[in-house]
Amino acid sequence: MITVAKNAGFCFGVRRATDKVEELIRNKSNGDIICTLGKLIHNEQYNKFLEDNGVSVLDVDGIDELLEKAKNGTKVTVVIRTHGIEYDIQKKLESCTEATENFSLVDCTCPYVKKIHKIASENSSKEETFILIGQEQHPEVKSIMSYVNHNGHVFSSSSELETYLKNNDLSNFRVNMAAQTTQKLTEWEKSEKILKKYCTNGKIFGTICSVTEKRQTEAMELSQQCDLMLVIGGRDSSNTAKLTQVCKSYCPNTHWVETAGNIMLDKIGHANNIGITAGASTPDSIIQEVKEIMENLNENFAQLLEEEYAKKAKIYVGATVTGTVMAISENEISLDLGDKLTGVITRDQITDSNDVKLSTLFKIGDEVEASVMSKSDVDGIAILSKKKVDIVKNWQKIVDYNANGDVVSAKITKATKGGLIATIDGVEVFIPASMTGVDKDGNMEELVNTTQEVKVVEIKEDRRRAIASIKAVIREKKAAEKEAFWASIEEGMVFEGPVKSLTSYGAFVDLGGVDGLVHITELSWKRLKHPNEVVKVGDVIKVFVKSFDKEANRISLGHKTDDENPWNIFMSKYAVGDVASVKVVGVTTFGAFAEIVPGVDGLIHISQIANKKIDSVANVLKVGDVVDAQVTGIDEEKQKVSLSIRALLEEEAVEETTEEAVEETTETTDAE
């Protein structure tokens, strides 16, 4: 039994766009220009139909050239696809339409997307943070984020969202969240729960297209009832990718195909219950063609499978064949292809290196896969290319790396104005400057000829172009390090780290990817006006954890220790009755304050300054004077010290009186 999902294929927005473009084609006059800003939909077959009917694909750089043609009399029509476009480009096109009679704009942006544009604009003030759950490089997401006024972030998954909310304090912002129209429903529901967990003052906008929701729900239900699911749609279609994920969750025998011609009959096997669904950009004609193929397959599976194998076994130009190495020379290898046919692969169709010996790459008896470039049945020779097969295989690796989110090694070969050129498994990829991890004013040349860990973040199948990111790997590593840090942190733990920044209230110290704050009162036992009195940015200092709050991403640190406590130092050196050399640091009407040790002052009361009554402290002592004083009192609880100069003066007077008495006694004795 074959069941086609009711909501498979064109959604309202896509059908509206295709109907409008087809109407433009019907009314097109010779010389008129019709173009779409980017490919109209994610379906190569339909886009080829548009191309064959004179509809070209325009990029942003070509707008000015079209405007000139319109000014010179050519009728130009520009169509905006359902994904929408960035705000500034939209405004530029609108101004072109207003200023030039022959230049017209047809806006086919999906109403659901338009709605999110408005939400993004109205919910991203200075006091708000706007979050979008979607694929950052998707055209729809780029158009939405261009309407954000201040703070905006894109997260591809609920786990990315949770990591961000854990590690950032958004208590001063109202957090508002929406979703890409084709976002996977289950992932969006997880994101809603996470936002509610961390933010209580935000807004959640349900912006997944209702058709998308129905399509995903229907696919989920259908895949649970089938032993084979076919998901039809372009390879760069976001909603088709999500449909495939949904179906695979319930039916492992799920296959993503673009057309009926992509169905691998030898891999899908025979199935009793077959389900078919399709992405929003899949024409009805392709869905019907796939259905007919599967109906025929059910009727005569064995015969079709045999024909498929026979087709693959046939050797023709463009076919991929496998042969056994039977000879190796300096510049070519020969393969036995069977059926009295020899395949020849020259060095230039094996490798770009002139230094490597073919005998080190192959040995007699090896099986080699290659593409047929030409064939002579008369001579029994087929000229083959191993490179072409390798390119396809290696490109598929790149596609798989992107799909799986793998971290892979890339050799950086060149720096350009816009970023870096690198190779992954022999395939050239581009790393934009913003994804290199190099600061805006940094030197990207330093990365040339190095090997870097990257993630493939975007695939452009039509041009076999891949975008990679070093920054994505760095970001994930930092997130993992932070998780490990928070899992191990305890109060009292000691760290050594550099001072990253100073504020009026303290110093932030890097503990290894996570910053902690040493409050100004914890930097020194002295009273400080600013932290720069004791530390500067870059200083490596020892700190210990006083307290931490993982949810708020806050760590309070201590730096000063009891060993450095001035009061402890004082108590270890002095006791009541001891004499100290002290420095006057303040003069008042009732006495003078004098520093005994750095950080501990004692009071010399006015009555203890001299052995006679004085009218003013300032007449006897001034700031900066160094005098000897006796410790006459210590209040340990209040950490106060009393000092006396007078006590020392009275001792001197007693000593002098004693000496005079001794002298008088001696004189009397001598006289007698």
CA distances from 9 to 181, 262, 273, 275, 507 (A): 15, 17, 20, 14, 59
What's the distance, Cα to Cα, between the start and end of the chain in Å?
148
Q: Are 382 and 375 in contact (CB under 8 A)?
A: yes
Helix, strand or coil, per DSSP, at residue 58:
strand
DSSP string, 177-193: EEE-TT--HHHHHHHHH
Give the whole-angstrom CA distance, residue 355 versus residue 363: 18
- Among residues 552, 461, 524, 448, which one has the least CA distance to residue 169? 552
Residue 459 DSSP one-character state: E
State the pairing for strand pair 600-605/640-644.
Answer: parallel
Beta bridge partners of 409: 453
Residue 538 backbone class (left: φ over 0; alpha: ψ -120 to 50; beta: rest): left
- CA atoms lying within 13 Å on the CB side of residue 603: 14
Determine contact, residues 555/509, Cβ cutoff 8 Å. no
Residue tagged active-site, from 128, 140, 458, 522:
140
Classified as helix, coil or strand, 298 is helix
Amino acid at 193: K
Structure tokens at 37: 């800003």
Catalytic residue check, 140: yes
Tokens, residue 244: 């495939």
Strand arrangement, sheet containing 128-133: 151-155, 128-133, 174-179, 203-204
244, containing H or E segment: helix 238-250
Return left, alpha or beta for 488; rule: phi > 0 is left, psi -120 to 50 is alpha, else beta.
Answer: alpha
Question: By the 8 A CB rule, do 650 and 611 touch?
Answer: yes
Nearest to 110 by CA among 41, 53, 191, 35: 41
* φ, ψ dihedrals at 260, nearest 5°: -60, -30
- Active site positions, annotated: 140
